[in-house]
Amino acid sequence: MGAGILPLSKIYAANLHGDQTAIFSQLAPATTLGNILAIIGAVMIAKVFANSKYNGHGVLIPINKEELKKEKLTLNPSEIGVGMIFAFTIFLLGVICNAFIPKIHSYAFMIIIVFILKVLNAVPKALENCVVMFNQVIMTNLTHAVLAGIGLSLIDLSTLAQAMTWQFILLSLASVVSMGLASAVIGKMVGLYPVETAIGSGMINNSMGGTGNIAVLSASDRMEMIAFAQMANRLSGAIILILGGLLASMLQ
């Protein structure tokens, strides 16, 4: 929510001259229901294809799981502080880029900047570990509080209840099924396990973001895919924010 429908509602409100809170309340039901359906879908896929050749059991490609193991980081206050400063620096760069190109949200720029840095391998491993530590602290201690605050302050429960029509439920179900099937087919075409891509891309991109990813992966017993899921979620989120901003500006 925080980096998805929240900035998207701001984009729509700015371009369509509407009320941001009202728009958020219209987007929230789709996110909430989509997340529930994604969790159910992930469990069903994992169970139905449990003994199938299409199941990688948490591994995207045929590879030894020992090769995928990462070192366990010990949290260090000083290094957490370094990670926080680096994260804030990326945030400020996103804000600066947004000042030059207002139609693209600062969150989208942040994701693009991080993606470029990762592809170019421009961040030293030690600094990367600091950011991972900071992320662990935030995800563990603050995520639920932030989501609770957003839910209590921005979600209009009457709008949420009114949105639960059979047409709305059918559209949400169609989104989950179509994205799951497309992810599985494309995953198979490029040599990945279809079950993993259906869950790690299709179901994940119907979830509520960070905590939604954890719910989907833990329900399907695939928590080792969390890094892939987070990246897939953020890249697709950036694309949606960019397209949303461009399309909304065309409707002015």
Closest listed residue to residue 229, CA positions, set 243, 244, 217, 245: 217
What pLDDT, on the 0 to 100 scale, is given for residue 87? 92
Total number of domains in the chain? 1
CB contact burial 167-199 (16+ within 10 A = b; e otherwise)? eeeeebeebbeebbeebbeebeeeebbbbbbbb
Predicted confidence band of residue 127 (pLDDT cuts 50, 70, 90): very high
| pLDDT tens digits, one per residue of 209-220 | 777 787 788 888
In this prediction, what percent of the chain has a pLDDT beyond 70? Answer: 86
Quote the pTM value. Answer: 0.64
Domain boundaries, position 95: 5-251
Mean pLDDT of the chain: 82
Q: Mean pLDDT, to the nearest integer, of 39-44?
A: 91
* Helix segments in 164-225, DSSP class H: 166-189, 194-197, 210-219
Contact in structure between 32 and 160 (CB atoms under 8 Å):
yes
The label of the residue with tokens 């000083």 reads 78
